[in-house]
Structure 1
Amino acid sequence: MTMSVSPASYHASVPSVAQFTALLDELLQLVPGVALVVAASADGITRAASSNLRRENGDPLGAAASGMVGMISGIAGHLNAGATHHVLVELDEGFIVIKKPTEHALLLVLASHTTNMDQLFFELERLGESAGQILDPGARVFS
């Protein structure tokens, strides 16, 4: 027996870009020290960003996050080290965290040195459940 889902009911369960932006903004409030968040598809297409980031700045960040994860995944492949789950880069002024919650999603975060990284990773894991729905190439919602 084959089940089908009507497009209307399928997309009703997928968060809109505006709803997802609100979730990204919520992360800024939940985790002190988080400066910005970008959500992108694994191929680097920025789908949403925290509202404190201008769109023209979000697009290159999504592409760069995808490239960085691709580069680290390539290195891991040569080392037979398994899949890449996140990338953490320490900077003079804080950290860049790129979390890969699903095969199709990336979350890039700029966080200060005072950020509680355990709390950040917990919240990114939680956010990743929603991210996979909106960032999956088969479920993109454009508004």
Structure 2
Amino acid sequence: MPADAIELEVTESALIGKGQAAATQLDALIAAGTLIAIDDFGTGYSSLSYLHEIPANIVKIDRSFIAHLEEDARTQTLVGSMIRMAHELGYSIVAEGVENQAALDCLSQLGCNEVQGYLLAKPLPPRDLETWLANRSGTSAG
């Protein structure tokens, strides 16, 4: 499998205390073409300094910010700010936990690059994923 087909997700909390050693390893993975995603951004030990320190391509906004996105103007402001800031720093954005069309529409308006969640599909074993993909593209899996 080519390196650019692999996306490795890391959390800030998993990297705490690893310092330069972790950054060096992530830099090597990125240089090889692997995509690095900062998972669960905005939760736990999350800090803006991690966006500066962790070599990555993608920021994944935690589902806790998405759950009531369409109902709460403050959350919309926060998520919109996260998306704009991450874009300005060169990251692609993925929103986790998208479970309804209203949240998807809101994220689209805010400029989110990708979404994942039950609105699209629940986690699938490989064979079911092939069928799901085939049904979405109108071709047969094989």
TM-score category (smaller protein): under 0.3
Which structure carries more relative contact order (alpha carbon 8 Å, separation 6+)?
1
Look at both structures and tell me which one has the larger radius of gyration over its CA atoms.
2
The structure whose residues are more often strand, as a share, is 1
